[in-house]
Amino acid sequence: MKALILSGGRGTRLRPLTHTMAKQLVPVANQPILGYVMGHIVEAGIADIGVIVAPETQEEVKAYLGDGTKWGVSISYILQERPLGLAHAVKTARPFLGDSPFVMYLGDNLLGAGIKEAMEHFLKSGPHALIFLKEVRDPTQFGVAVMDQTGKIERLIEKPKEPPSNLALVGVYFFSPSIHEAIESITPSWRGELEITDAIQRLIDSGKKVEGEILKCWWLDTGKKDDFLKANRVVLDEYVKKDIKGTVDSDSTIEGRVRIEQGARIIRSTVRGPCVIGKNAVVKDSFIGPFTSIGDHSLVEHSVVQHTVILSHSEVIDIAQMEDSLIGRQAKVVKNRGLRRSLQLMIGDHSLVEV
């Protein structure tokens, strides 16, 4: 069994942040999304992993994942020159995949549970494909599956105007080698891409068994700012435990589940969890509210911040209220005009905002 992680694409929905970093490396609760994906694959016992990368962000992805040693796996990098669809990514990875069954996992998806049980079912029962599904409120935004009572997929529709069901394709797929023949038989969609839904439909039309696995846990697509902040909130709420490795002075208060990493300093401040304060970060004369992640080496001073993600080496100074915000790396937000209203920002790396 092999794994194929898709870590390419251009991340247009998270710009300007993804002008300078891969969307799969944007941190949720101070860990890149790609780290959670790797955790699920390693937990399932898969040791041979291919990672699809884009020309613009491949070096950053390689710097984070390395050769796989720190994960106890082997990683092969596969360059996809242009984002021409999920099926095109599989086609590009064919030399790596060979004739092995594999799981394809989109690197910007977050799941509330792992894939081990589904993998074991796939290997034991032997369908040609097994796809993860989730009930959603607005199926028009997703690929949608029609499934019978036995769990067999009857058809797939990409972003239908009139959805025949509310079962969206999540972004985790198990495939037998037969998917390669199906991909060879399809043509690009109106978007100019080779759609994985078309390839799976080809399997169905040729009489091959395709099953669906409806997720009972949460699933989050981190493509947009609000989705990303929701992912940060859910992960903080579910996983963070009180763990103080940094220093907290006697004039500060820590309330609830707060993780303070090594070297971080809390000075004359209140931190109310769930939240995470990164390594060597400084919080001074401030209030940090729930569902906030502050990256390594960042500074928050004389400010109120909540429900916000601040990436590494950034500064927020003299801001009366910041919430629902996403702040890139080495960015700076400072008061300049005595503004007292609440701020909601999304700014990229190396930005300066004076308010």
What is the average per-residue pLDDT within 198-204? 94
Strand partners, 315: 299, 332
Domains in the chain and their CATH numbers? 2-235 (3.90.550.10), 241-354 (2.160.10.10)
**Tens digits of per-residue pLDDT, 249-286?**
999 999 999 999 999 999 999 999 999 999 999 999 99
**Tens digits of per-residue pLDDT, 62-103?**
999 999 999 999 999 999 988 888 999 999 999 999 999 999
pTM of the model: 0.85
Indicate if the pLDDT at residue 5 is higher than 80. Answer: yes
Residue 19: closest CA among 31, 11, 27: 11
Q: How many CB atoms lie within 10 A of CB 310?
A: 30
Pairing of strands 304-310, 292-294: parallel
Torsional sign, CA 96, 25, 19, 59:
negative
Residue 280: closest CA among 254, 235, 251, 245: 245
Strand partners, 28: 31
3-state class (DSSP) for residue 314? coil
Indicate if the pLDDT at residue 337 is higher than 80. Answer: no
Strand partners, 104: 4, 173
